[in-house]
A and B are shown apart, each in its own frame.
Chain A
């Protein structure tokens, strides 16, 4: 009954572990991929108000003009990027839908897609569902989990149709300077690859500044920028994001979206409008994350889990090599002995069995207690 394409997607090897965590009470979880903050009140209040006012209908497929205008103005002001309100912006149900649409809009069966590893779980699955073949560009700890240009050059020889870039990255927290991005673009530019960027963590950068890929000279016409409000504004449950790109690509994405989704929820779209005005609240959360990052990176390295300094998002990708355990065993034992949850590195790529993802989207008190428990666990294991 099930299609071959869906059957081909391997089941998650760590589903069982996830179920274990979800079934265990009183766990300190450093395994959560969303903010611990609740959506700032002004955004929630806006959502309540529009509901009271009776905004319960569909919107246009492209999304509310008010929101598209807001996004266009915001990108212009923050990044000097120009996207036309009418035909270069599409409101999506989060970046996840945006990515699905982008891949389906540009890929033909058998096309190659480059996925940079360690990667967010959805990238290869969505590429394969769109009929593509995935080429993994594996980054290494010794290169700070950044893209190796020679490796990229090698993979570009396959003539990929698209490359998915995610920065700041889930799970490593790695991001790129403008110059680093320029070097990457210089290699991609002569190819025919479309660059699909997941920049959902753009608000959460602690060192330096974020540069959208489409802000690079010559890259805009080949880039599909995916973004949203989930992480920076703590709005994961609202499910609202946006895609910006060349007119014909946005039109193709809108075509699919109009059949499969119709539109993003209207209340969430209004909440998105308010989120663009909530810069003070976003800055407050960013400062909090930055402190927690400084705290936890120092502590993880102190207890012997080698952790490169993440420049953004709210994750550390720590090496557990010295414990001699693979990431799934480490995570399972840490959970059962110390009741601390982390995500095994293998969830983000087969080659990352020596790492775990540690999320610091948690209170400082919980982080402190988690460190005490992890330290005890590591000492007993080594």
Chain B
């Protein structure tokens, strides 16, 4: 992966000026390259990663839902996947190999919201043969970032 993408993936707030210094490129080149990435859809958006576990008052309930579907002629899984991922409750949707076909991450304000989404919106869809819901109890790591325990370096402040 390009240097610029690696830096931005680690910290989306890195300024163009800092990107230029960190990659030994000219400022105008950085701007051009980032714009190209945005245009091509390599960079989709810049967002903040929030540890919602710490937002005690509005901590959402998250469920991983395995969905078994009947693929449709000509369009396979894509059409049914689209019907599902369009729901705002669905935060992610993957086509997977194995016993189930789709894996969803569904978020709701409480357990009843998620349960009623599954029972009333998801399960009744005609192509859906079955669902298995797993409610998330604790997030340890997300997108490569450990959420629960920060590692601390034990090094001394000055050494040869």
Contact = CB atoms under 8 A, between A and B. Distances in A.
B7 interface: yes
B145 interface: no
B157 A299 contact: no
A299 B21 contact: yes
Contacts of A21: 157-158
B157 A33 contact: no
For chain B, the bracket of interface size reads 10 to 19
A298 interface: yes
Which of B7, B153, B159 gathers most chain A CB within 10 Å?
B159
Contacts of A32: 155-159
Contact of B18 (A29, A36, A122, A295): A295
B82 interface: no
A136 interface: no
B120 interface: no
B33 interface: no
- Count class of interface residues, chain A: 20 to 34
B160 A295 contact: no
Given A38-B151, A299-B21, A291 B157 contact: no
Contacts of A121: 160
Contact of A27 (B6, B18, B157): B157
A236 B156 CA distance: 12
B25 to A, nearest CB: 10
30 contacts: A18-B158, A22-B156, A22-B157, A29-B158, A31-B158, A31-B159, A32-B157, A33-B159, A33-B160, A34-B155, A36-B153, A38-B153, A120-B160, A121-B160, A237-B154, A291-B3, A291-B7, A291-B22, A291-B23, A292-B22, A294-B21, A294-B22, A294-B23, A295-B21, A298-B21, A341-B157, A341-B158, A343-B158, A343-B160, A347-B160
Interface of A: 18, 21-22, 24, 27, 29, 31-34, 36, 38, 120-122, 170, 236-237, 287, 291-292, 294-295, 298-299, 341, 343, 347, 364, 368
